[in-house]
Structure 1
């Protein structure tokens, strides 16, 4: 009888453990690089948010969409965008028990969209591949040295991937040789269906700027309804590849019509709507955070100088010092 009772207790404990694992989420912030090193003071608001992950985003720069040379880790960049700065950020965040997604990204001069990067000649493609490999592999090596939990191999590079699929397959293998943690790629919301290498990665990463409402001030219910067609496709994709969906970026601007074209970052837009941002943010959590096939995500975006960012006159993406921050905090707290 005692033996059967022991087996029963083991089954119960295993079941509880599995349920806990199913509801454990990546509750992340996209931590913006700055000119300076960071300290515990800068990270207290991240801890207070109940975040358990931060995306660190060093940038490499190219002159235009047809320019193959990628410049990175230079004296002209901000400290947080360099190898030294990234290393310091990782150490500081991990001291606060916050895990890291290292997410090296390309910035095209004047902010042109990276998904349109496309070389005019084979020679230029080869040069881009060489410089991108140098960039990514150097940070993959750092990720391994720092035992980073998650590494993102690229962000919103649809044309680069579509025209050079063999290169990306090779690159993933090279990264795996250097880095032993989990891999993802950050596909744009309108790109992910065509990304050819999900089977080679650990998470299906998506920058989740899906259109979900045409309302000026959408309600939570409006946004939840707007999510349903996208949610269905994401669940099917997760089942197809047997991999969890990770929102490598998510968030909304505090402006009118924030759910209509959530990817828009035009500074000429002057409308201010904190309720729209709050409602859209809550709807995203209500739609996804209880789903076992959903891994979590990284809110866009979070600055180190908390007291100076966001607030009730800011219509940009950051939720800092806005009602949306309270929404995020409440979900991050109960879903850790």
Structure 2
């Protein structure tokens, strides 16, 4: 598999955001400023909470199909590869990893079968768009830790997606969870979120490599990154960590991650987190302590690494 020099684009974009000129300019700048060759357009459907069985992908919290298709085609016009990643958030703020139901059906309680029916309908909708627009990969889920034990439901979902989308399929498991997914054989590519502490990459890479060997499939980090915030390199997955804005901390994290993971032959790329459709003002980048890299020193680190690959 060709090395994926990727970036997640457009997370949390709402209806109409992709129609704004700034969104296309953001896509253009993403390629120019980071040397990215692949964008992962990530969508955020909503359900009320972790025990709701209805996944809503039709409201104003989602970009419209027409604007999504136009953005995919715009990215492709710049010779960018495109992956589509429809995922889900909970309205009450609970992280999607905690979506969970009883394993045995109980009357009057929400059930796995109802959630998977709704979630599969959601995936099928965007699988059709991915097929129609010739997307290069389809990501059927992200960091849904408690759902992963429902092996047969995931196998059924992937089978249904394959009936529509003919390209490669992956599932993005969460950090540390690579060994918990028992159905990696059902996907074409294995992926996970690489938010590992800056001083723990060697140990985690050795662990992941040993897990991957029996499956003999390509692997990439579908997410990876770090906020520009003091101490974040040691807890890069904690978006709420308190600390001072620290550009060097973020740049150092990327440098170490690329030195450790980027040189492993079996790591076939990154889908870095993340690049907004509507960017902050570059003149105010020094005050931004989020995962964004636009106008920050980390941007140059990424450009140099992707250029060398």
**TM-score, with length taken from structure 2:** 0.90
Structure 2 residues without counterparts, runs of 5 or longer: none
Tell me how far 1:125 sits from its aligned partner: 1.7
The structure that has the greater radius of gyration is 1
The alignment status of 1:176 with 2:201, answered yes or no, reads no
The alignment status of 1:205 with 2:205, answered yes or no, reads no
Task: Summarize deviations over 1:56-91 as a string: whole Å, max 9, x none.
Answer: 1122101111111111122x2243xx3223212211
The alignment status of 1:166 with 2:148, answered yes or no, reads no
Tell me how far 1:293 sits from its aligned partner: 1.0
Provide the C-alpha distance between the structure 1 equivalents of 2:18 and 2:190, rounded to a whole number of angstroms: 32
Tell me how far 1:184 sits from its aligned partner: 0.7
Corresponding position of 2:113:
126
Corresponding position of 1:117:
99
Provide the C-alpha distance between the structure 2 equivalents of 1:148 and 1:78, rounded to a whole number of angstroms: 19
The alignment status of 1:88 with 2:66, answered yes or no, reads no
Tell me how far 1:141 sits from its aligned partner: 1.2
The alignment status of 1:65 with 2:50, answered yes or no, reads yes
2:45–2:56 Cα contact (<8 Å) kept: yes
**TM-score, with length taken from structure 1:** 0.83
Tell me how far 1:333 sits from its aligned partner: 1.1
Tell me how far 1:307 sits from its aligned partner: 5.2
Aligned residue-pair number:
296
1:22-101 equivalent positions in 2, closer than 5 A? 24-32=2-10, 33=13, 35-37=17-19, 40-48=24-32, 49-74=34-59, 76-79=60-63, 82-101=64-83
For residues 143 and 36 of structure 1, do their structure 2 counterparts lie closer, same or farther at Cα, with a shift above 3 Å needed?
closer
The alignment status of 1:238 with 2:212, answered yes or no, reads yes
Corresponding position of 2:140:
153
For residues 283 and 201 of structure 1, do their structure 2 counterparts lie closer, same or farther at Cα, with a shift above 3 Å needed?
same
What secondary structure, in the 3-state scheme, does the structure 2 residue paired with 1:189 have?
coil
Provide the C-alpha distance between the structure 1 equivalents of 2:84 and 2:35, rounded to a whole number of angstroms: 19
Provide the C-alpha distance between the structure 1 equivalents of 2:55 and 2:218, rounded to a whole number of angstroms: 31
What secondary structure, in the 3-state scheme, does the structure 1 residue paired with 2:299 have?
helix
Provide the C-alpha distance between the structure 1 equivalents of 2:178 and 2:299, rounded to a whole number of angstroms: 28
Tell me how far 1:38 sits from its aligned partner: 5.4
**Higher fraction of helix:** 1
What secondary structure, in the 3-state scheme, does the structure 2 residue paired with 1:154 have?
strand
Tell me how far 1:237 sits from its aligned partner: 2.5
Provide the C-alpha distance between the structure 1 equivalents of 2:42 and 2:114, rounded to a whole number of angstroms: 23
Structure 1 residues without counterparts, runs of 5 or longer: 1-20, 214-225
Task: Summarize deviations over 1:292-318 as a string: whole Å, max 9, x none.
Answer: 211101110101334526711111111
1:73–1:83 Cα contact (<8 Å) kept: no
Task: Summarize deviations over 1:18-59 as a string: whole Å, max 9, x none.
Answer: xxx7xx410111102352425553322122121110011122
Provide the C-alpha distance between the structure 2 equivalents of 1:237 and 1:133, rounded to a whole number of angstroms: 27
1:138 to 125, 148, 152: 125
Task: Summarize deviations over 1:244-290 as a string: whole Å, max 9, x none.
Answer: 22111000011111122211111x72411111110110111111223
What secondary structure, in the 3-state scheme, does the structure 2 residue paired with 1:143 have?
helix
Corresponding position of 2:263:
290
